[in-house]
Amino acid sequence: MLLQIPDILTADELARARQLLAQANWADGRATAGAQAAQVKNNKQLPEDSAQLPELRQLVLTALNRNPLFFAAALPLRVLPPFFNRYGDDANFYGAHVDGAMRPHSNGGYVRADISATLFLSEPDEYEGGELLVEDTFANQRVKLPAGHLVVYPSTSVHQVTPVTRGTRLASFMFIQSMVRDAHQRRMLFDMDMALLQLRQIAGETDNAVVTLTGTYHNLLRLWAES
Ligand code: NI
């Protein structure tokens, strides 16, 4: 499942993020790629010692944490601190790859990447190309969103960023370990959660069927979630 979440960032947050990125020094993006991915990765990334990185990370994590749609879709257990990248000039693409499953966390241990997310930080008309192309079950999905919008997709999918042939594409990307490991179970819970939202509008919070189905949602979560 691919899900687009509009306006994760406020206009002020987006402006601040772009201001910080304009001050930053960029490094070769291959630093965080595994051996296979490094062969097809050609972009720039903020290095871990970047002075701007702590504020940028806090800004994005705060935005994710307050977004109910992100929570419903990802059921996040742990989010790896977000990374920031730039595509343009002669470092302008990331070929087909699958994101590595286990990502080392700076505080020790690992985060299992169940879900990947891209937060667009450039407007679509600021660059040519630079689409996120995700191989989905039945078709390839091409994603290019307004600045401040997020797309979440399964980390298990083969995906790429097509070459940026004009301008600059800035983005943040992150990996999420979900409380529900299985993508199908996660999808069913999300569909049920969204349907329940509609049912509450129609029938009210205390309607018997709504209460029963809400209980079923939580009981499924109890069966499937790990914490
Ligand atoms: Ni990737």
Per-residue pLDDT tens over the stretch 166-221: 999 999 999 999 999 999 999 999 999 999 999 999 999 999 999 999 999 999 99
**Which segments in the chain show pLDDT lower than 70?**
none
Q: Are 75 and 179 in contact (CB under 8 A)?
A: yes
- What 3-state DSSP class applies to 154? strand
Ligand 1 centroid, distance to 215 Cα (angstroms): 36
Q: Are 9 and 61 in contact (CB under 8 A)?
A: no
pLDDT value of residue 2: 92
Ligand 1 centroid, distance to 222 Cα (angstroms): 30
Q: Are 109 and 216 contained in the same domain?
A: no
Ligand 1 centroid, distance to 72 Cα (angstroms): 22
Cα 16 to Cα 146, 166, 198: the distances in Å are: 16, 24, 35
Ligand 1 centroid, distance to 20 Cα (angstroms): 23
Strand (E) or helix (H) holding 135:
strand 132-135
Ligand 1 centroid, distance to 197 Cα (angstroms): 32
Ligand 1 centroid, distance to 112 Cα (angstroms): 14
Q: Are 217 and 194 contained in the same domain?
A: yes
Ligand 1 centroid, distance to 96 Cα (angstroms): 8
Q: Give tens-digit pLDDT for 71-81.
A: 999 999 999 99
Tell me the whole-structure pTM to 2 decimals: 0.95
Domain extent at residue 92: 3-178
Q: Are 105 and 21 contained in the same domain?
A: yes
pLDDT value of residue 129: 98
In this structure, how many other beta carbons lie within 10 angstroms of the beta carbon of residue 80?
A: 19
d(CA 83, CA 119): 10
pLDDT value of residue 20: 98
Q: Are 157 and 208 contained in the same domain?
A: no
Phi, psi of 133 (to 5 degrees): -110, 115
Ligand 1 centroid, distance to 221 Cα (angstroms): 28
pLDDT value of residue 38: 85
Q: Are 159 and 115 contained in the same domain?
A: yes
pLDDT value of residue 32: 78
The tally of domains found in the chain comes to 2
pLDDT value of residue 34: 81
